[in-house]
Homo-oligomer: A and B are copies of this chain.
Amino acid sequence: MKLLAVGSVAFDAIETPFGKTGKILGGAATFIGLAASAMKTEVSLVSVVGGDFPQEYFDLLKSKNINIDGVEIIKNGKSFFWSGKYHNDLNSRDTLITEVNVLADFDPKIPEHSADAEVLLLGNLDPAVQLSVLDKMKKRPELVILDTMNFWMDIALENLMKIIAKTDVISINDEEARQLSGEYSLVKAAKKIREMGPKFVIIKKGEHGALLFHESKIFAIPALPLEDVFDPTGAGDTFAGGFAAYIAKKGKFDFETMKSALIIGSALASFTVEKFGTERIQNVTSEDLTDRINRFKELTTFEALV
């Protein structure tokens, strides 16, 4: 199935307890594209950058078989730029700089070849833009996956609720699920969020793994235990990208497929956090991925209990 994803293609500058970067490649759509590429799944990105976006980054994305026909270049504009500093535990961070730039007036253009994509991933972005992408599709995709964050709950709740109502799968973290639902218990939170529209609710818990809720069913996975998380930037986007790519590849939307997709997304995200920015996820080989999935099986599989 065709996979289309919308999100930012941008610059990040990151500081963690392990070091800091200059301006490097970042953005939700970038990580989504690289995750799909690691899954050998074709993906088209819809995004916008400024004239300052370097050719080498375009070349990198193209070399990974990521279709960027839908990435508009505003020659006299500047690309979105985010800079953040992570605290010692890497579970929280301060935003140092947000320059919205060309993303402020982002009017997404969907390439003709992708307007009938069966799977649409609405990466973390202004809900108004997510709504407009859905409107511009030739027909309603068979599966709409939404990734969002607390920022949009704070400043754009009305539009966020509109796009959530039109979504099949939502991916948010535990604190966001609590904020969105007003429930502390994640079981209750997921129930309330399903009542807002999505049939599937994914709650990401960082180093503690993720939960998938559907009807009365729950599936839980741990995160792969890592000696160190180096840089969490892009982990959620990578997860969403890997999840969507697996589903597009399988062309099935049942609970079992979603469970497998959750594992793939999580396995891919575990690469992203090992180095700064896209450095690790852009170099994942098939062998790397197989090896990590096997580690996942070892981590979670037990013999039948007597």
- Which residues of A are interface residues toward B (Cβ below 8 A)? 88-89, 184-188, 205, 208-209, 211, 217-222, 225-229, 256, 259-260, 263-264, 293, 298-300, 302-303, 305
Contact = CB atoms under 8 A, between A and B. Distances in A.
A229 B211 CA distance: 17
A299 B220 contact: yes
15 contacts: A89-B184, A185-B226, A185-B227, A185-B228, A209-B209, A209-B222, A218-B298, A218-B299, A219-B298, A220-B222, A221-B300, A259-B302, A260-B303, A263-B305, A264-B305
In the complex, the count of this chain's copies comes to 2
Contact of A221 (B222, B227, B228): B222
A88 B259 CA distance: 32
A221 B302 CA distance: 10
B187 A300 contact: no
B208 A302 contact: no
Contact of A187 (B184, B217, B219, B227): B227
B256 A302 contact: yes
A299 B217 CA distance: 8
Q: Determine chain A's interface SS by DSSP, over half rule.
A: mixed
Nearest to A203: B225
A184 B87 CA distance: 13
A184 B222 contact: no
Nearest to A250: B306
B184 A88 contact: yes
Contacts of A228: 185, 188
Given A209-B209, A219-B298, A219-B300, 11 more contacts: A185-B226, A188-B228, A208-B208, A219-B299, A221-B300, A222-B222, A259-B302, A260-B302, A263-B305, A293-B305, A300-B300
A44 B184 CA distance: 39
Contacts of A300: 219-221, 300
A222 B205 CA distance: 11
Contacts of A89: 184
A264 B306 CA distance: 10
Contact of A220 (B186, B217, B225): B225
A17 to B, nearest CB: 9
A303 B256 contact: yes
B302 A187 contact: no
A256 B302 CA distance: 7
Nearest to A206: B208
A121 to B, nearest CB: 20
Q: Which of A205, A208, A264 has the most CB of B within 10 A?
A: A208
A298 B218 CA distance: 8
Contacts of A218: 225, 298-299
A263 B304 CA distance: 11
